[in-house]
Amino acid sequence: MNESQGHPQIEARVLSPGVEVLLGDVRYIFPALDVSAEKEDTLILTVPLPGVREKLGRKGEPTGDKKGDMVLCMVTSERELFECTDEAFMQHGWIGKVPEPLIRQRWSSASLKRFLDGNAETIDGWELYRDIKAKFDEYVDFTGSALNASALCAIYAISTYFFFMSEYFPYLKIGGAKGVGKTKLGRIFSCLTFNGQIYARTSVPVIYRSAQDSRGCMIIDEAESLDRKSDEFAAYFQVLNSGFYRQGSAALVDKDSMKVTLLSTYSPKIIISISGLDDVLGDRAFEIILLRTLDRERAGREIKEGGKEWQELRDRLYLFLMQKWREALAVYESLKPSDFVGLEGRFWDLAKPLIAMARVIDGPSAKTEVEDELLGYLSYELKRKKAQTNESIIGRTLLALNELLGEKEKETIKLGVLREILVSAEGTGSEAWITSKYVARTLKNLELYVNPRKIKGVLHFDAVKSLMVDRAKRFGVDIVDKVDEVDQKQTGVISSIQAQLQTQPISRLCKIYPVQSTSTLSTMSTKSTQPNPPEPEAVEGDTAKKQSKELPTPKRTCGSCALWRTNDCPVEHPDLIMPTCLEAETCPKFAPKREEVRP
């Protein structure tokens, strides 16, 4: 037994000739970007720097033959600089794999020298955020739903330097039609993010190793063009499925030795694609949809990735990381979901590192300008994700069950009927994959497949209202909220009609259903169940009575008796205020039977 490499807290024990195990305070690190201990010990990162290497002889002696080379160097928050080697790791009590030469020099030698010498300028987070946001606005026209998305882009770019502190980190999806500037936005991210690199038609080993060896932001361009049967797609699929959380990894098997290697997949990722993401991947990403700009000057601005403007911003980002990483970690650990209304579950996990960074940028003062801009976007994104949930197979299944149950607490339903509703909602071609087995499996996953059985050879199951409502709440499907919204809208319509009837002539408002008083409308709004409602008096004698007996049959109803049309009459009477859906025999909400309100 002996102390390893002079480190007093590590003990090396020999198990067999040439094999030692290390015991004690050993830290496994990712040299590209990490902290050396769990309790804010030292921040480390790898920076390739230009240098000179001297060739060595067979016995390791110097030969005097020197040549220029890029040297992988470790830089620490304690202003240390040393070569990235296994021996150097051991001296510090670290265990880690020396990164493959995938990392480019992103921190300029001049700025790094000032940092190592202790002469670096103090970086103001607010000014850095403002300048980065201005760069996004300078090159990209954020309009439509992406209005003010430059705030999200700036926060995301800064956060890629701090992502390793959080348990989860969100993906960013850049979408839109052809020619809207998606790749251009991706190039800006490649200039600003930590070790940012655009990947298009990349080899499989690079895809697997980039996350662990560089820990940089992977910007996957033209993701929709990937062949789903290719090895490249399989590699991206494995990396993206697990790369949003700290412990995410991919298992690789060497075809020759059959040795299994685990590689970390955790790193920031930006996906550029015309098409959307599948439900699983979309649940891990925030989305920005771009529109084609009308600003020809902005559209014509070129991005020079090696330009001085980008290098200056990156230098400030590296210094901001070195100066604020402890504060950022403390802010992240102090955040609680109970402090933010509506943020919970997976959405909270992904939003948390961005909110923490917004608070660090705002600084210790009481101002919350950056955080407010971010929360404004997150509010919109939360609504978009809820809408997507309703359109997912789970959401459509719950909405279909709600429709089939109606007001009943329990109902026996044919599995085939539910399948037909889902196929109709999903559209052409879905009948191939929405099979009865698929629907049954979906119900089982929701624990809604109660008492399945065959009746005359046809599969049936019991649908229970209370269980369906519970699952809707758990999965964020707006079933109860939609009913409440309908009630509020209909109450407002009734109040509006009553107010107009009190202030305008009856004959002017009701040309198809002439009435003299508001008693009929009051009967409708209160769900009157009087067996013999009073007959309304005619407005213009027998002619009016004859007109009321020969009412035209509406071409269609308004589609929902609970939402009366007051401005868009389907019977071609634009000034009609009375409901136009009275041809329905019953109304599930307010309208009583036809004979109770019609003269």
CATH number at residue 247: 3.40.50.300
Mean of pLDDT values over 277-283:
83
User: Which of 279, 308, 323 is the last residue in one of the domains?
Assistant: 323
What is the average pLDDT value for the chain, to the nearest integer? 78
Do 427 and 505 belong together in one domain? no
| pLDDT greater than 90 at residue 133 | yes
Give the tokens for residue 240.
């993206």
- Tell me how many domains the chain contains: 3
Shared domain for 504 and 469, answered yes or no, is no
**In this predicted structure, what is the pLDDT of residue 323?**
95
Query: Is residue 194 predicted with pLDDT exceeding 90?
Result: yes
Question: Has residue 180 got a pLDDT over 70?
Answer: yes
Rounded Cα distance, 163 and 138, in Å: 26
3-state secondary structure of 463: strand
Q: Which range (186-190, 331-335, 536-540) has the least confidence? A: 536-540
Q: Is the pLDDT of residue 571 over 70?
A: no
In this structure, the answer to whether residues 495 and 557 fall within a common structural domain is yes
The answer to the question of residue 570 being in a domain is yes
Residue in 334, 347, 375, 374 with CA at minimum distance from that of residue 168: 347
Residues 139 and 210 in one domain: yes
CB atoms within 10 A of CB 70: 14
**Are 112 and 47 within 8 A, CB to CB?**
yes
Looking at the chain, the whole-number percentage of residues with pLDDT higher than 70 is 76
Is 448 a member of any domain?
yes
Residue 23 in domain: no
Q: Which residues pair with 288 in a beta bridge?
A: 174
User: Does residue 229 or residue 416 have the better pLDDT?
Assistant: 416
CA distances from 187 to 131, 174, 180, 275, 306 (A): 17, 12, 14, 19, 11
Is the per-residue pLDDT at 138 higher than 90? Answer: yes
Average pLDDT over residues 560-567: 37
Average pLDDT of 415-424?
91
Which of 447, 462, 478 terminates a domain? The answer is 478
Nearest Cα to Cα of residue 578 among 489, 493, 472, 502: 493
Any domain includes 113: no
Rounded CA gap, 444 and 450, in Å? 9
Least trusted range by pLDDT, from 351-365, 485-499, 501-515: 501-515
Strands 81-83 and 62-76: antiparallel
Give domain status of residue 43, yes or no.
no
Q: Are residues 248 and 139 in the same domain?
A: yes
Separation CA 159–CA 129 (nearest Å): 11
Q: Do residues 409 and 464 touch, judged by C-beta distance below 8 A?
A: yes
Confidence (pLDDT) at 444: 93
Q: Looking at the structure, tell me whether residues 498 and 539 fall in a common domain.
A: yes
Residues 464 and 315 in one domain: no
The pLDDT value recorded for residue 514 is 34
For the segment 545-574, the average pLDDT, to the nearest whole number, is 39
Q: What integer pLDDT is reported at residue 538 of this predicted model?
A: 43
How would residue 237 be classed by pLDDT, with cut points 50, 70 and 90?
A: confident
438-492 pLDDT, tens digit per residue, is 999 999 999 999 999 999 889 999 999 999 999 988 888 887 544 444 344 434 4
pLDDT at residue 486 in the model:
38
Q: Are 484 and 589 in contact (CB under 8 A)?
A: no
Q: Is 343 within the bounds of a domain? A: no
**Interatomic CA distance for residues 387 and 285, integer angstroms:** 15
* pLDDT-wise least confident of 33-42, 367-376, 576-585: 576-585
- Say whether both 471 and 491 belong to one domain: no
> What CA–CA distance (Å, rounded) separates 7 from 532?
97
10-16: strand order across its sheet: 2-3, 10-16, 19-24
Residues 307 and 199 in one domain: yes
One domain for residues 222 and 304: yes
Task: Report the 3 state secondary structure along 51-100.
Answer: EEEEEECCCCCEEEEEEEEEEEEEEECCCCEEECCHHHHHHCCEECCCCC
Is 250 within 8 Å of 239 (Cβ atoms)?
A: yes
Is the model's pLDDT at 357 over the cut of 60?
Answer: yes
With cut-offs at 50, 70 and 90, classify the pLDDT of residue 227.
Answer: low
Give whole-number Cα distances, 537 to 514, 527, 579, in Å: 9, 21, 19
Q: How confident is the model at residue 587 (pLDDT cuts 50, 70, 90)?
A: very low
Contacts (Cβ under 8 Å, ≥6 apart) of 464: 409, 410, 448, 450
Q: Quote the pLDDT of residue 164.
A: 92
CA nearest to 265, candidates 277, 279, 254, 251: 251
Residue 366 or residue 107, greater confidence? 107
Identify which has the larger pLDDT, 364 or 551.
364
Out of 123-127, 452-456, 531-535, 583-587, least confident range: 583-587
Percentage of the residues of the chain whose pLDDT score is greater than 90? 40
Pick the residue with more confidence: 258 or 198?
198
Instruction: With respect to residue 502, please indicate whether it lies within any of the assigned structural domains.
Output: yes
Could you tell me the residue range of the domain that residue 500 belongs to?
481-597
490 and 461 in a common domain: no
281-305 exposure pattern, b = at least 16 Cβ within 10 A, e = fewer = bbbbbbbbbbbebeeeeebeeebee
Q: Looking at residues 187-202, what average pLDDT do you find?
A: 91
Contact 490, 589 (CB under 8 A): yes
pLDDT confidence of 560, banded at 50, 70, 90?
Answer: very low
The full DSSP string for 403-439 is HHHTT-SEEEEEHHHHHHHHHHHH-TTGGGT--HHHH
199's enclosing H/E stretch is strand 197-199
Long-range contacts of 224-231 (CB under 8 A, 24+ apart): 224/273, 224/274, 224/275, 231/204
Domain end call among 478, 502, 537? 478
Please indicate, yes or no, whether residues 231 and 208 belong to a single structural domain of this protein.
yes
Average pLDDT over residues 3-26: 70
- Residue 418 located in a structural domain: yes
Residue 4 has pLDDT above 70, yes or no: no
